[in-house]
Structure 1
Amino acid sequence: MNETLVTIVGNAATDVRYSTTAAGVPLASFRLASTERRFDRQRGAWVDGETSFVTVWAWRWMAENVVSSVGKGDPLVVTGKLRVRDREQDGKRVVTVDIDAWALGHDLARGTSAFRRAVRARPELVEQQPSWERTAVGGEAMPTERVPAPV
């Protein structure tokens, strides 16, 4: 297994985009901005360096949790498989940098977060899955409707 694993600390630079593949697999993505900070001895102060942008991809249950938990500007820590691709677009060489997330969470060095375990229902026991939306207050994910399981 020759995979390049990375951990990046940064901020969500875009809102999370959510979709499903043709096979129905949930997929979420967003851009993560990570800015280098270093101490400048001549100035005697911390200064910002270059900002790197990567696209973070989350699949399956993580995708559903990401869309319910992450908002633009949130400080995050992302660990996953690095993918760097060279391609041509409109006659120009373009390099894209992606991370297939294996673990993703809020950066607790810069704020607090409240963890809630996601409950997964067995599809055969649920008539209709609730649709999840971020609420305007607090960003907490809440179902828009609740459907009880048959007894």
Structure 2
Amino acid sequence: MNDTMVTLVGNVATGVEYRDTATGGVARFRFAVTARRWDRERGTWADGHTSFYTVFAWRALGANLAASVSVGEPLVVHGRLKVREEEREGQRKTFVDIDALAVGHDLSRGTAAFRRAVKGEPRLTERQENGASGPPRDPWDTRPEPATEERTPPEDPSQASAVRESQVLEPAP
């Protein structure tokens, strides 16, 4: 097959939308790629034009992406380039999409901690990972999360250091 494969380095521009479909889940988000150029006259780096792409990720990649990526994070996206034209409101519009095959954080700009997803095991939502109980939140609900109770350290001073150590060792959300 003659697909055009691309690898893009940029930032997540919108929240990741995830939906379950009959053929498996799909995640979608907008991705911003800004060219950087060395300005010899000023002796500094300057931002060039920003291109925006809609990235689609299917099945396990989509579910893992939705659980791992937030707006503004630097990513490397590899996949098939799809350019399509549509007529909307009497005007011809061009859309550039990427069907992602692999997505990862850009480690030249930060660190990441990998957690392997186990097949067949139900995925924890961010609320469940942080100890929240009750029914799962509607992922399309835009209202702010209700306040949650904070953990209080035990009154026994000998156990206080164990609590501090466990709080330090927990991964950041």
Q: CA deviation at 1:65?
A: 0.2
1:36-76: CA deviation from partner (whole Å, max 9, x where unpaired): 00001122211000000000100001111001000111110
Which residue of structure 2 lines up, in the alignment, with residue 55 of structure 1?
Answer: 54
State how many pairs are aligned.
Answer: 132
Structure (1/2) with the larger helix percentage? 2
CA distance in 1, matches of 2:65, 2:129: 13
Which residue of structure 1 lines up, in the alignment, with residue 20 of structure 2?
Answer: 20
* Structure 1: unaligned runs, 5 residues or longer: 123-128, 136-140, 146-151
Q: CA deviation at 1:142?
A: 3.0
* Partner SS for 2:118: coil
1:43 maps to 2:42: yes
CA distance in 1, matches of 2:126, 2:93: 34
CA distance in 2, matches of 1:55, 1:10: 12
Which residue of structure 2 lines up, in the alignment, with residue 134 of structure 1?
Answer: 126
* Structure 2: unaligned runs, 5 residues or longer: 134-173
CA distance in 2, matches of 1:86, 1:116: 39
| CA-atom RMSD in angstroms | 1.8
CA distance in 1, matches of 2:69, 2:126: 9
Aligned sequence identity (%)? 53
Q: CA deviation at 1:7?
A: 0.3
Matched residue type, 1:36:
A
CA distance in 1, matches of 2:43, 2:23: 54
Which residue of structure 1 lines up, in the alignment, with residue 67 of structure 2?
Answer: 68
1:9 maps to 2:1: no
TM-score after normalising by structure 1:
0.81
Indicate the structure (1 or 2) with the bigger Cα radius of gyration.
2
Which residue of structure 2 lines up, in the alignment, with residue 104 of structure 1?
Answer: 103
* Partner SS for 2:65: helix
Any runs of at least 4 consecutive aligned residues in structure 1 with deviations exceeding 6 A, and if so which?
Answer: none
Matched residue type, 1:107:
D
Matched residue type, 1:77:
V
CA distance in 1, matches of 2:108, 2:79: 20
